[in-house]
Amino acid sequence: MQSKSSALADNATVLRYALVAPAVFVILMIGLYPFIKLAATSVQDITMFGADRSFQGFKHYARLMEDDRLWEAIWHTTLFTVIALPIELVLGYLLALLFLHPLPFRRTLIAIILLPTVISPIVAGATWRLMLDQRFGPINQILGWIVGREVEILWTINPNFVWPAVLAAEVWQWTPFMFLILLAALSNVDSEQLEAAEIDGAGPWTVFRKIVLPAILPVVVIAVLIRGLDLVRVFDVIWTMTQGGPGTQTETISIYAYQMAFREFEISYSSAIAFFVILILTVLVIAALRRVEIAR
């Protein structure tokens, strides 16, 4: 593709930069300043009670190494991501298969399924809090009908149920996103190729591995990346459902960082956390992207 592109030489030198300039400018404006500010603040000493802007060394970074609650939050976030992501991907894929071929009311049904994705995570959290209310919510009631006796699960309080509760809300909201993207990708798979493979007697697994997967992989990678990054920074849903509780059992990085920055106003320490998190993510994502780019 590169050689072909260069064949399109026109006023390229101006345009190739002019076209990206507005986007890069906006991203830099919002992206670069905070980054520099974070780096600077994290080596000063700014709290609610005063600002010492002299260089303090890396004491806040040393502190975060020993901050168990931070590491717990990182662990929770990781766990949340690696559980939710595959569920959403698999469910999304199955749904996409279900809707791939003509179906009566297809468009209406798809529109309905898409709805959770388009509502605010705050609303989703509030909705699920209502749904899972031990007494006034329908979930325990429905479960009660199934098992034939009253169910009194304290979804957002019992440590054994709080993760399923939060995951349910998350998966409910974002599976449709995966579904939509995978449906689009699957529609693009060459049907002649599929038919040819079927005629050759290839099994479903072989067809999937040899034809479908390569065709949808680029889209899947982008979808996984986008959702993965969203999951890593999850805040709203958990905030409305549990505020990170019980204890700190559902506290994620974003919730902990929020507490530190906007409730305790430990500005320097929270900057160190933010800078540290951004650093880890940058390394991880760039490594992942490089692999993907090479794999293409």
Using CB under 8 A as the binding rule, the residues of this chain from 138 to 177 that contact other proteins are: 138, 141, 152, 154, 156-159, 172, 176-177
Regarding 189 and contact with other proteins (CB under 8 A), the answer is: yes
Residue closer to other proteins, measured from CB, 102 or 201: 102
- Range list of H helices, 44-102: 59-65, 68-100
Q: Contacts with other proteins in 49-68 (CB under 8 A)? A: 49
Cβ-based neighbour number of residue 110 at 10 Å: 16
Q: Contacts with other proteins in 236-265 (CB under 8 A)? A: 236, 240, 245-249, 253-254, 257-259, 261-265
Regarding 1 and contact with other proteins (CB under 8 A), the answer is: yes
Interface with other proteins (CB under 8 A), residue total 128
Regarding 87 and contact with other proteins (CB under 8 A), the answer is: no
Residue closer to other proteins, measured from CB, 89 or 277: 277
Regarding 274 and contact with other proteins (CB under 8 A), the answer is: yes
CB contact at 8 A, 46 and 52: yes
Regarding 103 and contact with other proteins (CB under 8 A), the answer is: yes
Distance in angstroms (rounded) separating the CA atoms of residues 41 and 155: 40
Regarding 82 and contact with other proteins (CB under 8 A), the answer is: no
CA nearest neighbour of 226 among 44, 91, 85, 26:
85
Q: What is the DSSP string of 33-53?
A: HHHHHHHHHTTSEEETTEEE-
Residue closer to other proteins, measured from CB, 210 or 222: 222
Exactly one of 188, 210, 214, 291 binds other proteins (CB under 8 A); that residue is 188
Cβ-based neighbour number of residue 121 at 10 Å: 19
- Range list of H helices, the chain: 2-6, 12-18, 21-41, 59-65, 68-100, 106-118, 121-131, 138-147, 159-187, 191-199, 204-207, 213-232, 236-241, 253-258, 267-295
Distance in angstroms (rounded) separating the CA atoms of residues 121 and 237: 5
> What kind and span of H or E run contains 224?
helix 213-232
Exactly one of 65, 79, 119, 196 binds other proteins (CB under 8 A); that residue is 119
Interacting span for other proteins (CB under 8 A) from 11-19, 52-60, 82-90, 199-207: 11-19
Interacting span for other proteins (CB under 8 A) from 54-62, 82-90, 206-214, 276-284: 276-284
Residue closer to other proteins, measured from CB, 69 or 210: 69
Q: Contacts with other proteins in 14-33 (CB under 8 A)? A: 15-17, 19-20, 22-24, 26-27, 29-31, 33
Torsion region of 178: left, alpha or beta (phi above 0 gives left; psi -120 to 50 gives alpha) = alpha
Regarding 136 and contact with other proteins (CB under 8 A), the answer is: yes
